Chain A
Amino acid sequence: MSVTEIQLHEVTLKVWGGNIEMHVKRGGSGSPIVYLHGAGGPDWDAFLDDLTASHAVYALEHPGTGDGDLNAIYEVESLSDLVLIYEETIRALELGAAPICIGQSMGGMLAAELAATFPDLFSKLVLLAPAGLWREDLAPREWLTSPPEQMPQRLFLDPAKPEARAFFALPDDPDEALASQIGTIWALGCVGKFGWPIPEKGLCNRLHRVTTPTLVIWGDSDDIMPVGYAGDFGKAISDSRVEIVPESGHLVQVEQRQKVLDLVAEFARA
């Protein structure tokens, strides 16, 4: 849970024939970036704060998570429906120009699915240690069944770093702390629904359709999604570049924030 000083705006959009209300947090101004969070749920953190220096950042909240209706998840029956729901939401934002999409982990898998299904939806694609592929020799860690107390060392190379501690810190207020815990656990369930029991749902068959220029960023010591998948994404997406970030675990945008910000800035300019 992080504290932001950026002015955030809450955007709500009715999609899916009016059956789902999507919640989006918006901050900053400039060319648009759409951010798709991972299984831990939405969290407007320092990475998104820093992106607002030169972009209008739209952080989409997965159905059932964040400030929206917790039961909205039951309206989403399948991954293919989820892709359409996100596409409707992104178009409903009426961003003018096609945005850059940044997706992290399960959000990265979703971003790749969106780009494969709707080639015109994004101007550029940034995948941060995305889920979605499977190799026998590189099985991703079963993070939903890992004991909660092991998550710090699973998610970070150095769980003692201030950034890592801040990531797991709960608000001082007991009610807020409880709400935060419930939110995280429920988010894992809501997002995990589309990656269970193995976060590979045929993306390998569809990746060749991704024509959007793509930057794949991976921590060199990822204990959740092995870094060996970085090359596989790079090979399958024709217009792509792979960057391995040293000294980082799975949450590369948290553990090596500045390096990732620099890579994204350079990619956005190119």
Chain B
Amino acid sequence: MLSHVPYRRFDDGFEDQYPSVISTPYALADPAEISATYRDVLDNSMFAARLGFDGLAFLEHGQSSYDMSPNPSLMVSALAYATEVEGLEVALLPTGRALGKTAEPLRMIEEYGVLDAISNGRLMAGLPVGLPYDAAVNHGVPPIEIRERFEEGFGLLQRAWKEKEPFPFNGRFSQRSSVNPWPRPVQDPHPPIWMMGVGSPGTMKRVASEGWGYQLMGLLGAKVMGSRLFDMFWKIMDEAGEALNPYRLGYMQPICVADSFEEAEQLYAAHIEYFYRRGIGNVPPHLLALAGSVPPIGLRAILSNPGSSDFGVGTKMTSMHFREFVDAGCVIIGSPDQVVEEITSIAEEYRIGHLLSILAMGSMPAELVRHNIELFAAEVLPRLRDLWPESDWPNHWWPQRLGGMPAPGEDDSPASEEAR
């Protein structure tokens, strides 16, 4: 389950009055409501863990009112301890800590070490490059340097996870006379690595060569943008000679469950509109591709195909209505049967092994989120588990303590060989 930490109380018409949810004046905030939001999100994460969800994920968004999660390690840290105390076997995925934006890669490496220690080996290491506006506007990184910073930070992380002795690191963006983080991750050789992406072929190629898992951050409508990006991913994996193992691919998807579609519409429609119009859909598209953040070859791909479905319905979300969001696949909603059928259809068509379900959207009150989580856990989750049998498809991108298999090349077992 992937959770946002959204401000839930913006008035009707917010989207017409304010230019975006990443420049919202703090004068609109009610501190008591903000505190209650964190409590509700953490409570409901624990609620989901107790009901048998496989993992809990948080995103990284600085200075934004739609997801008040400037550092996902903070939320994950609280849950790492609480789930460990209760003996809940859930994986923990901070999808963020973008190495392309942080001025302190060593701090991020230390944080992941701490999270893996507190959770005793349940960390999945999310390693995004970084959203252009978040890196550039919130962290002052020139857009053209974001990817270079990611590469340097990743090099530091690889070395820090491997070396047992202190070493000097002379990077362009960070210099340290002695690198020796305590703790290193408890997982051996390291936690599974997940790249987050929005569909750049260059990133997918990197995923193929590094053995990482890939989460497509496709909030913008699977039916609109899905086929092209998923097909591209598997084509790139195939060309790289990689096994077409569904567990390598994750997809995040808002989902609403009720007894019937009609009831679901009644319960959730207003909150879905809030989620997109006063939330994620209200990030100006030009800030997602700031000049310099997309290399010329990527610009050519985007500009030569202006109607390209890769951006989903992202450019017109603040004026869309419930039915349009449903039609675009921005939300999968309905009775358990309808939801299972639709998720199964997407998962089978695009070979998706990891589903990051988004069950809390925008202004949804905590009780309604719990209702959604409860129905999903009881009526949907059990019917999705066997979609991709792990006997056929070893999950190398999952913590070993929770049943994950060692990464190919780090394990010579027949199942691993066969999969390749």
Contact = CB atoms under 8 A, between A and B. Distances in A.
Interface stretch (A11-19, A95-103, A177-185, A230-238): A177-185
B347 to A, nearest CB: 36
B295 to A, nearest CB: 8
B300 interface: yes
A185 B291 contact: yes
Nearest to A70: B296
B145 interface: yes
Given A189-B144, A192-B292, A145 B137 contact: yes
B144 to A, nearest CB: 4
Contacts of B385: none
B296 A186 contact: yes
A77 B292 CA distance: 15
B300 A148 contact: no
Interface string B295-319: 1100110011000000000000000
B296 A182 contact: yes
A142 B299 CA distance: 21
A268 interface: no
Contact of A189 (B143, B286, B300): B143
Contacts of A148: 286
Given A145-B137, A147-B284, A186-B291, A192 B143 contact: yes
A182 B299 contact: yes
Contact of B142 (A178, A186, A193): A193
Contacts of A162: none
Contacts of A186: 291-292, 295-296, 299
Contacts of B172: 77
Contacts of A189: 142-144, 290-293
Contact of A182 (B133, B284, B286, B303): B303
A188 interface: yes
B402 interface: no
Contact of B300 (A74, A77, A147, A182): A182
Contacts of A147: 284, 286
B390 to A, nearest CB: 42
Contact of B291 (A70, A77, A144, A197): A144
B387 interface: no
A47 interface: no
B287 interface: yes
Which of A148, A178, A194, A197 has the largest number of chain B CB atoms within 10 A?
A197
Residue with the highest number of chain B CB atoms closer than 10 Å, among A148, A189, A194: A189
Interface in A37-77: 70, 73-74, 77
Contacts of B143: 144, 189, 192, 196
A106 interface: no
Contacts of A74: 148
B286 A190 contact: no
B255 interface: no
Interface string B127-150: 000000100110011111100100
A73 B303 CA distance: 22
B386 to A, nearest CB: 47
Given A77-B172, A145-B287, A192 B142 contact: yes
Contacts of B300: 178, 182
Nearest to A78: B172
A186 B290 CA distance: 10
B144 A192 contact: yes
18 contacts: A144-B136, A144-B292, A145-B133, A145-B137, A145-B286, A145-B290, A178-B303, A182-B299, A185-B291, A185-B294, A186-B295, A186-B299, A188-B292, A189-B142, A189-B290, A192-B144, A196-B136, A197-B142
Interface of A: 70, 73-74, 77, 144-145, 147-148, 178, 181-182, 185-186, 188-190, 192-194, 196-197
